[in-house]
Amino acid sequence: MKANKEIIMNAVSNLGFEVFRNGQFHWNSSNTPDMIINNDGTIHCWTSSPFKNNTSNHGDLIDFLQMTNINQSYKEAKQEAERLTGLTLPDINKYKDNGYTVDNSNIKKTGYISEEFIKTFDIARKDNVTRYKELLNEALPSLDFEKQKEIAIKYQIGYIEQSDRLSMPIRDEENRIVTLWKYNKNPNSYINDKGLEVIPGKVLFTKGRERCPFNLYDLQEYRKDINQEIFLCGGEKDTLNMIGNGHRAITLGSENENLKEKYKPLFQDLKIVISYDNDEAGQKGAEKILKQLQVVAKEIKVWNWNKVEKNQDLTLFKGFDMTDYLSAIKKQNLEFDKTNYQNEKKDVKMKEEEFKKFRENTEKKFGISFEEVRNSDDYQLKSKWLDEYNNQKENRDKKELLQKTVKNQVRLTVINNQAQKYIDFLKLIKNKDKEEKTEFKLNPDFLKQVNDVKNNTLEEKTEFTSKKIDNLKEESKNIGEKIKDYSENKILDKSELFKNLEKEIHQFSAMVEALKNENRELRRELELLIQKDEKEKEQKSLEKDNASLKEKIEKMRDKKPEKVQEKTPEKINKISYEKTHEQEM
């Protein structure tokens, strides 16, 4: 439907959405606006494609009404739109200003930002070093200061004093500055000259300018080795953190950005890992760009946050991104997980590889091919191969359980570190209050469960430990919340609260220690069993070889010797030196 910007702003505002003076508003976001009303009255979404049955990021008021009320027919939505657009319009100054404005006076008429203009942000950086370092640390939390400095110099990260933001030029394929990235993780609201509160977003770009992939120069360098993976991140911040940690990374600018035709050749034959945020917008953005990359990239994989959470025992929240991940693994001293985005067919391939290896080793050991054994009528030979396979399979099952105990050990170490922090918190409070030390016993229910499982199978013991670790992880969250509540509680006498918290923390710590011991014993038991199996396997092999040798010896003894004809002695003729048989007398 046709309507201008102010009419649609009023209509959306009457639907209960807070619309800012520039036409932006929050639809499905909390930090920065995710929709904008254009001058022609159409509505654009930056984070997803919610219009027209989730097929477009652009629509009119009727599309918006049908999107917000899925049961509404086109006719009903059209009638509602006509009603809303017929309302009396308010003064534009009644809308709040959200700070999305920029002074473009220093931008040349050529359409590109000058290098001289960028230098002003470098001067401001030098004049505001302390504040600049604070903002840089917020933007690049996964890096130490030296690495932050290196990244800042490489990508010309400066400081905008007026808006208290980091700035960074975004350059096109010809190294021309097309727009500015402006970042402050925790921007302060302020009152503008019209007396209205301005609530800026975390990330801003120069208004009205076309954006392009952030680090096109890096992408061109990456193309020199197309066999290495490149991580496609959701934004500039994640890309900078990934690069700082030694990974090849790039961003299109946002998770809803399309891959423009002119940039497609740069992605030709590349191996891409789409690494968008852990939320709905990230998921939809990944699905969208996956389809666009399929026609050019050689290999595409998608970062799997669910597997990351499971593999590394991390607590993820909505919007958890690659910067959060890099910071978390740095804090917990964990490895970068490259297994989460691997093809699920890998497991099948691994089994094929295992059997191939077994076949080669067994053929070498027995000196006969698998095909010959399969086609043979020799039962003993087939039995020998089958025993060999079963022995390896049993050993492999134990090795898989052993790997689980190793993983559980890592998870318990992480939880134990958290338990120690809780204990340190108690010590701090006790030192202040000078309370006497209290003894605590292990939770009797937990102790009974541990004792009950001792006679179970190895698989059941391992599963028990894994489940209990999951429980402890949840318990750790609860204790963290209780410590926060205790610290923020304003009542004068907190002694009863402290006693309950102290008991819970000590029991939690004791359970962690008990599970560590159980897991350690289980791991040792599996290691010994694997060694025992190897020895028994060797022993059985020797026994079979001995039996085979014994059987051959017996056959040789039972075999009747053939009659040997005596040879006539030879005599050498001393004259001719020829051999002649001596005549019998």
Amino acid 140: pLDDT: 96
Distance CA 238, CA 141 (A): 10
Distance CA 468, CA 516 (A): 11
Distance CA 316, CA 97 (A): 33
Q: Is 443 helix (H, G, I), strand (E, B) or coil?
A: coil
User: How many degrees, rounded to 5, is the angle at CA 231 between CA 226 and CA 236?
Assistant: 125
Distance CA 309, CA 400 (A): 20
Amino acid 203: pLDDT: 57
Distance CA 22, CA 458 (A): 64
**Residue 329 one-letter amino acid:** I
Specify whether the backbone of 568 is left (phi greater than 0), alpha (psi in -120 to 50) or beta. Answer: beta
Contacts of 488 (CB under 8 A, 6+ apart): none
- Outline where 434-575 has alpha helix (H): 444-452, 458-488, 495-558
Query: Which residue, 439, 504, 513, is CA-closest to 478?
Result: 504
Contact 19, 5 (CB under 8 A): no
Each residue's pLDDT, cut to its tens digit, for the chain (585 residues) gives 678 888 899 888 878 788 888 888 888 765 667 788 988 888 988 777 788 777 777 888 998 888 888 778 888 888 888 888 876 556 556 565 655 443 444 433 346 788 888 888 999 999 999 999 999 999 999 999 999 999 999 999 999 887 788 999 988 877 888 888 888 877 766 566 566 666 666 656 555 556 678 888 899 889 889 999 999 999 999 999 999 999 999 998 877 778 888 888 889 889 999 999 999 888 889 989 998 888 788 899 999 999 999 888 888 888 999 999 999 999 988 999 988 886 644 444 445 666 677 778 777 777 888 777 777 777 677 677 766 666 655 556 777 788 788 878 878 888 888 888 888 888 888 765 555 556 666 777 777 887 887 878 888 888 888 888 888 888 888 888 888 888 888 777 888 888 888 888 988 888 888 888 888 888 888 888 888 877 877 787 777 777 778 777 877 777 655 554 555 555 555 445 455 554 443
Phi and psi at 362, nearest 5°, equal -70, -35
Q: Is 197 helix (H, G, I), strand (E, B) or coil?
A: strand
Longest CA–CA span in the chain (Å) reads 149
Q: How far is CA 330 from the centre of its chain?
A: 13
Amino acid 577: pLDDT: 47
Specify whether the backbone of 253 is left (phi greater than 0), alpha (psi in -120 to 50) or beta. Answer: left
User: What residue segments make up the domains of the chain, in order of their start?
Assistant: 5-94, 115-205, 216-331, 343-368, 377-543
Distance CA 529, CA 526 (A): 5
Domain 216-331 class, CATH top level: alpha beta
Distance CA 300, CA 271 (A): 6
Cα dist from 89 to 4, 24, 30, 93, whole Å: 11, 17, 27, 12
Specify whether the backbone of 186 is left (phi greater than 0), alpha (psi in -120 to 50) or beta. Answer: beta
For residues 198, 203, 208 and 211, what is the CA-based torsion angle, rounded to 10 degrees? 180
Query: Which residue, 510, 513, 516, is CA-closest to 444?
Result: 510
Amino acid 109: pLDDT: 36
Distance CA 395, CA 532 (A): 10
Specify whether the backbone of 544 is left (phi greater than 0), alpha (psi in -120 to 50) or beta. Answer: alpha
Amino acid 16: pLDDT: 77
Q: Where are the beta strands (DSSP E) in 115-224?
A: 158-160, 165-171, 177-183, 190-191, 197-198, 203-205
For strand 249-251 and strand 229-233, is the pairing parallel, antiparallel, or unpaired? parallel
Structure tokens at 480: 């963290």
Looking at the structure, give the CATH architecture of the domain made up of residues 5-94.
Alpha-Beta Complex (3.90)
Burial class (CB in 10 A: 0-12, 13-18, 19+), 120: middle
Residue 39, number of CB atoms within 10 A of its CB: 9
Residue carrying structure tokens 């494609």? 49
Concatenated DSSP letters of 292-355: HHTTT-SEEEE--HHHHHHHHT----TTB-HHHHHHHHHHTT-----STTS-TTHHHHHHHHHH
